[in-house]
């Protein structure tokens, strides 16, 4: 789990390097789904007294449980469920191919707050490259979850992080990350 914002930024760079280095949309979806599910698991383990006592939940159930617990805002759940639906299409159809329309649909599930942060980070997206667009949206979803599991948002018995403004926090973290990269700073933990 990431600690400081610099560690979160470093984790993001490593995540992107690992997930999206010349990967097909199929590989991006499968790997992105796994890494995001790991973040969901971390959020669940932070909020449950005995996290090992719950049964092995499916991705969708984890998202819905986080919403029910108030950990994930209700309006944030749709893109995570859409990612899961796309992953399931790949898993259950040998000839499924992701299209630009699928990406448009995926991006349209973002809440207005998420869309504002997404636009801030990626600018106006006119990219027709499916892999690049997929990279952007998965990166965004992962980064939003990673922020919730890094200080100062979570400390034991402190539920302040549930009420963070994701748009504001993503913008701050992204600006700090970009400044560190531009200044050639070593952001490794």
Per-domain boundaries in the chain: 5-182
Helix (H, G, I), strand (E, B) or coil at 181: helix
Statement: the pTM of the whole predicted model exceeds 0.85: no
- The Cα–Cα gap between 136 and 101 comes to 15
Rg (CA), the chain: 16
* Tens-digit pLDDT profile for residues 73-115: 898 999 999 999 999 999 999 999 999 999 999 999 998 888 8
Angle (CA) 31-80-23 rounded to 5° is 25
Residue 165 CA to chain centroid, in angstroms?
Answer: 15
Average pLDDT, the chain: 77
**Topology of the domain comprising 5-182:** 1.20.120
């Amino acid at each position: 789990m990431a600690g400081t914002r610099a560690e979160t930024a470093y984790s993001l760079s490593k995540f992107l390097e690992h997930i999206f280095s010349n990967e097909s949309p199929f590989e991006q979806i499968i790997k992105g789904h796994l890494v995001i599910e790991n973040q969901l698991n971390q959020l669940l383990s932070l909020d449950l007294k005995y996290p090992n006592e719950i049964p092995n939940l499916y991705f969708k159930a984890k998202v819905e449980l986080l919403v029910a617990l108030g950990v994930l805002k209700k309006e944030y759940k749709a893109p995570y469920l859409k990612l899961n639906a796309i992953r399931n299409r790949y898993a259950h159809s040998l000839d499924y191919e992701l299209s630009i329309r699928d990406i448009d649909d995926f991006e349209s599930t973002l809440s207005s707050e998420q869309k504002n942060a997404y636009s801030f980070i990626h600018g106006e997206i006119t990219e027709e490259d499916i892999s690049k667009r997929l990279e952007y949206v998965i990166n965004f979803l992962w980064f939003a979850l990673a922020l919730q599991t890094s200080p100062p948002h979570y400390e034991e018995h402190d539920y302040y992080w549930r009420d963070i403004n994701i748009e504001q926090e993503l913008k701050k973290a992204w600006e700090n990350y970009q400044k560190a990269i531009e200044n050639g700073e070593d952001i490794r933990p």
